[in-house]
Chain A
Amino acid sequence: MLRLVNVNSYYGLVHVLKNVSLHVDKGETVTLIGANGAGKTTTLRSISGLHSVKEGKIEFEGNDITGLRAEKLVRLGIAQVPEGRQIFRPMTVFENLELGGNLIFKMHGKKQMKAGIDEMFDLFPILKERQEQYAGTLSGGEQQMLAIAMALMCRPRLLLLDEPSMGLAPLIVKEIFKTISRLKEDSDLTVLLVEQNANAALKIADRGYVMETGKIILEEEANALMKNQEVKRAYLGKDQREIWEK
């Protein structure tokens, strides 16, 4: 469904993505794990069109989408939940959802948009309670749910999630990951999940990539990655020692 071939990206002169190649099949949940600054977010931003790709190719459903602008890609079915809960804070929850649904509004009219918002209220009942509140006054977890709901309002086939667990309490992280798995069951959504919380991400993913300083260094089934010594030591933090330490 999604295929990146030797993608290179820069921030000014800094070479951030170095020949990144990865693919996501239809219906899969794939996670991209790695430390801070490894280039995970840049990978997502390159896919969603927020960051321009210098070299390489990105394909979505067989079409070349390299260099298309973000607002175009949303129409093709790629929605991104950006890092750090990028919602419109000075606007109400309801207005945020309306904006998320502005494409439905343009193509199918107000009724369909309202129906979409009602679906989101079913999925996240807390948002219904808070619909008149300003989005900036929501708790972190609620803001993350709103951000996910806004992306879902674009009716995507591929959902890019950027660190949904960032800065949230463990219990809320659990709830959000549960929601993501539930979404997967109810629809044929494909998910590419970027996470620092490798443990939680690998639990719900089918497959995983490990990224380090702009390169993809490992690709394996999620279960296998969980058991991988090196991954355990570096990202799962399970009190592992390197061989020479023993």
Chain B
Amino acid sequence: MNTGGGFSDFLQFIFMGLQRGSIYALVAMGFNIIYNSTGLINFAQGEFVVLGGLMMVTLTMTLSLPMPVAFVITVLFVMIMGILMERLTINPVKSPSVMRLIIITIAVSIIIKGLAMIFWGKESHFMRHFSSEETFEIFGATILPQTLWIIGILVLVVICFILFFNYTMTGKSMRACAINRDAARLTGINDRNMVMLSFALSAGIGAIAGIIITPIIQMDYARGALLGLKGFGAAVVGGLGNSLGAVVAGILLGVIEALGGGYISSHYMDAMALLIMLVVLFIRPSGIFGSVEASRLKEF
């Protein structure tokens, strides 16, 4: 282990925090996409992450497909699962209320978890890293190349996200639907398709999170709940619906968790994120980056 003392320890924690935080940020973005288009919290978000990770394990380790091919197939597979979820469980509901739909998402998460257990078993699955597993040192902190992959992919996803929602007609239509559904429909935008698309995108982002983290945490079927909860925490801290807020909050949460785990006690690592979420909810319920005015008008 490193013996570099104060600064290198600190740097080590920061990198670890960035790595965890990137995952929370991705999960939180997934929450926000669906929240913005439907006003509901999709509690199956964590399950998308698990599905992404497990599918990637099967494709790369069992079927030995090359990484990039497996990556694409996995993301598409989970996106289709997201679409199926929307078409089979959300769309047919006759009189949708937010509460009813949220309970449905909880049911779906339990079903997905069950299916994942049947297909992949209860044990954790090991997966090869994207590139070398040799660590290298920066100022005394040991870093895995996978950590850089994770951070890099987060940056890439955020960039694609911004481009999609600001420069394509479909992205703008989705935003329009989130801002004012009736007005969007009056311009001929099919709001139901937009909801389906939001499930697909959010599942896709969840899958990416699962794929990049699996080499480090070794995925198993039951991981979804905690990952989802942390991501939800990040979404709340960043202000529900605010995607850039979610990214910042996710990273922040990850870093605080790592620092707390490193300097206080690693037993309380998981509690840190929830503690921060509680504090934010007490002091500023609309989230750090959320608008106070908007949160008053929200249904949930």
Contacts and interface: CB of A to CB of B under 8 A. Distances in A.
Among A49, A91, A153: residue with most chain B CB under 10 A: A91
Contacts of A79: 186
Contacts of B187: 74, 99-100, 102-103, 150, 153-154
B190 A99 contact: no
Contacts of B189: 71, 99, 102
Chain B contact residues: helix, strand, loop or mixed: helix
A183 interface: no
Contacts, number: 67
Nearest to B191: A71
Nearest to A81: B186
Given A71-B191, A102-B173, A105-B169, A87 B183 contact: yes
A151 B186 contact: yes
Interface residues of B, number: 17
B185 A90 contact: no
B165 to A, nearest CB: 11
A103 B189 CA distance: 8
B175 interface: yes
A87 B176 CA distance: 9
B265 interface: no
B169 A90 contact: no
A88 B179 contact: yes
Contact of A70 (B169, B173, B179, B185): B185
B182 A91 contact: no
A86 B180 contact: yes
Contact of A88 (B169, B176, B185, B190): B176
A103 B185 CA distance: 11
Contacts of B185: 49-50, 69-71, 74
Contacts of B122: none
22 contacts: A50-B185, A69-B185, A70-B182, A71-B188, A74-B185, A82-B182, A82-B183, A82-B186, A86-B182, A87-B180, A87-B183, A88-B176, A88-B180, A89-B179, A91-B175, A98-B172, A102-B169, A105-B169, A106-B169, A150-B187, A153-B187, A154-B187
Interface of B: 169, 172-173, 175-176, 179-180, 182-191
Interface of A: 48-50, 69-71, 74-75, 79-80, 82, 86-91, 95, 98-100, 102-103, 105-106, 150-151, 153-154
